[in-house]
Amino acid sequence: MREPYTPLLFSTLGDVFLESEGGAVYWLNTGVGSLSRVADSAQQFRSLLGTDRANDWFLPSLIQELRQAGKHLRAGACYSFVILPIFAEGKYEVSNLNPISAREHFNLTGNIHRQLHSAPDGTRVRLHVQDET
């Protein structure tokens, strides 16, 4: 049985920080489909927000470049990758990110990561994206 999680924070890059029932905080990186423990508690997580670790999580310089390129977010939106970084062609670059609704972002990335879940690294894949709205 999986431990229940409570969302703590959503990033403009469509990632989510979750608190486990045990109190630890995890980073759901939707670009690569990974879940990693980043803090032992919400209090420790909040203290890390003021450090260089936060730069790795939120990529503020990339967000600034996106805004300078005229890619602005509306309420309920986040930046989402054209090609996810899980693929060799997927880069953390302005040209590979666009604003979309958070709902669409989670539907798309979740669908792709579900399809890739059991594929070994380096496998050539063909994805089928469906509108789940």
CB 90 within 8 A of CB 31: yes
pLDDT at 105: 96
From CA 108, how far away is CA 81, in angstroms rounded? 10
pLDDT at 87: 86
pLDDT at 118: 74
Instruction: Kindly give the confidence (pLDDT) of every residue in the chain, 133 residues in length, as a single tens digit, with 9 standing for 90 and above.
Output: 466 899 999 999 999 999 999 999 999 999 999 999 999 999 999 999 999 999 999 999 999 999 999 999 999 999 999 999 988 889 999 999 999 999 999 999 988 888 777 767 766 766 665 555 5
Indicate the pairing of strand 97-101 with strand 77-81.
antiparallel
What are the boundaries of each domain within the chain? 5-116
From CA 90, how far away is CA 127, in angstroms rounded? 15
Write the DSSP assignment of 69-100 as a string of letters. TT-PPPTTEEEEESS-TTSTT--SSGGGEEEE
From CA 122, how far away is CA 32, in angstroms rounded? 14
